């Protein structure tokens, strides 16, 4: 009955999220290395051999670097847009099998229904996802420069969210990155700041929201404490009291968050 979500790794050195129903286990993105993903999966309810597929959000290495090896070693199908497939880094190598999905459409993977939607990012055809199982609705959206109307509409009604909170704007602007990189991150095709993310959360809040995992933090331009501080601004409002917040890290897996469609 339940839908489970656990962030295995999150940040510019690699991203991967485990999503499970009782019958289906998938990874959303497979950054880092195969060895690291396998090791982290051992701490969860699903080993690498139990996986049913990998769904890739876009071709940047921090989301696909382990996809090729995992796919070949465990005979896993990999799902992605045509734009992502055409721009995969060459070192990913052969994939055991590929299924192409289109943004704006849904597809089935086991007993999960996955709706992919377009995000604004400097990749060829990047996607965010709504993953549904028996009334539970999980939204996963990292790597976007701006929360478009489409993103806001898609993320409405999710009981669980994994959402980017990439940088603190002051840290970014005063930090060591070269100007062109600061501009890229701030642009509509870059990454969401803590303030952007908080605003988006406020826009999509509803009373059945159960958990929010803030993800893809920059190690240079953000800090988990700053993200938690940002969350506290939301939690000053009583309606957020029933929502569990967590911050995903690069080197530590999160607890498993569970949704029960009957809640």
Size of the site for Zn ion (CB under 5 A): 3
132 or 143: whose CB is closer to Zn ion?
143
Q: Fill in the DSSP letter of residue 192.
A: -
Place of tokens 């940002």: 230
Residue 262 CB, shortest distance to Zn ion, in Å, is 34
Q: Which residues contact 232 (CB under 8 A, 6 or more apart)?
A: none
125 or 143: whose CB is closer to Zn ion?
143
Interaction of residue 191 with Zn ion, rule CB under 5 A: no
Give helix then strand counts, H and E, for the chain.
9, 14
The distance of Cα 4 from the centroid of its chain, to the nearest Å, equals: 14
Residue 123 CB, shortest distance to Zn ion, in Å, is 6
Q: Which residues contact 200 (CB under 8 A, 6 or more apart)?
A: 147, 151, 152, 155, 163, 192
Residue 245 CB, shortest distance to Zn ion, in Å, is 21
Residues in 134-153 at the binding interface with Zn ion, rule: CB under 5 A: 143
Do the strands 53-55 and 2-9 form a parallel or antiparallel pair, or are they unpaired? Answer: unpaired
Contact letters for Zn ion, residues 62-91 (x by CB under 5 A): x-----------------------------
Residue 199 CB, shortest distance to Zn ion, in Å, is 20
The contact set with Zn ion (CB under 5 A) reads 60, 62, 143
């Amino acid at each position: 009955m339940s839908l489970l979500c656990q962030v295995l790794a999150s940040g510019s050195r690699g991203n991967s999220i485990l999503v499970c129903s009782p019958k289906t286990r998938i990874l959303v993105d497979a950054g880092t290395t195969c060895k690291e993903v396998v090791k982290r999966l051992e701490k969860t309810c699903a080993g690498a051999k139990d996986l049913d597929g990998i769904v890739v959000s876009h071709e940047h290495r921090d989301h696909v670097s382990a996809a090729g090896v995992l796919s070949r070693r465990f005979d896993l199908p990999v799902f992605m847009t045509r734009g992502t497939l055409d721009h995969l880094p060459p070192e990913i190598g052969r994939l055991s099998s590929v299924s192409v999905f289109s943004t704006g459409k849904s597809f089935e993977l086991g007993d999960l229904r996955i709706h992919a939607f377009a995000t604004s990012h400097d990749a060829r055809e990047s996607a965010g996802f709504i993953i549904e199982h028996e009334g539970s609705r999980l939204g996963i959206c990292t790597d976007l420069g701006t929360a478009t109307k489409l993103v806001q509409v898609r993320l409405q009604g999710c009981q669980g969210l994994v959402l980017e909170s990439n940088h603190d704007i002051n840290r970014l602007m005063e930090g060591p990155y070269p100007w062109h990189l600061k501009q890229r991150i701030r642009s509509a095709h870059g990454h969401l700041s803590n303030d952007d993310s908080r605003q988006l959360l406020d826009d999509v809040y509803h009373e059945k929201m159960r958990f929010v995992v803030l993800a893809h933090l920059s190690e240079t331009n953000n800090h988990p404490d700053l993200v938690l501080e940002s969350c506290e601004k939301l939690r000053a409002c009583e309606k957020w009291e029933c929502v569990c917040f967590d911050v995903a890290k690069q080197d530590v897996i999160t607890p498993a968050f569970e949704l029960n469609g009957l809640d």
